[in-house]
Amino acid sequence: MKHTFRLRIYYEDTDCGGVVYYANYLRYCERARTELLESQGASLRKLMDDGVYFVVAEAALKYLSPGRYGDILLVETLVERAGPASIVFSHSIRREGTNQELVQATVKLGCVGKDLKPMRLPAELDGIRKMVQTCP
């Protein structure tokens, strides 16, 4: 199942030439993952209150074309894999209207406890496991 998150590019997201600053795409992917998890009933606030946290273990981005001030972007997110203590997400960031792909990203999250040691994904994320698009 693909989840789509829509966002507008504001002046604060860009450099002086009106082009999206490259690191902001990581923020957009983070927002999209949060929305995906919440849409599946996985409250990050509740998980954090229960001592369950997610850390970025790996991130790879491929920049294809620049986003610009005023663009509306669509961040499409898929769950690629869900292991015992990690989840791998793939993201495709496209410009609304033209559907031009701007960025491809893959991000691996590790599940950790308050001590920052790895822990198994909690039962609240069973719905995420069902979203897996490919086998590990």
* Residues carrying an active site annotation: 15
Residues in contact with 126: Cβ distance below 8 Å, sequence separation at least 6, in sequence order? none
Q: How many CB atoms lie within 10 A of CB 38?
A: 13
Residue 37 exposed, middle or buried by CB count within 10 Å (0-12, 13-18, 19+): buried
Q: Using an 8 Å Cβ cutoff, are 129 and 123 in contact?
A: no
Residues in contact with 4: Cβ distance below 8 Å, sequence separation at least 6, in sequence order? 74, 75, 76, 77
Q: Using an 8 Å Cβ cutoff, are 124 and 37 in contact?
A: no
Nearest to 22 by CA among 58, 57, 66: 66
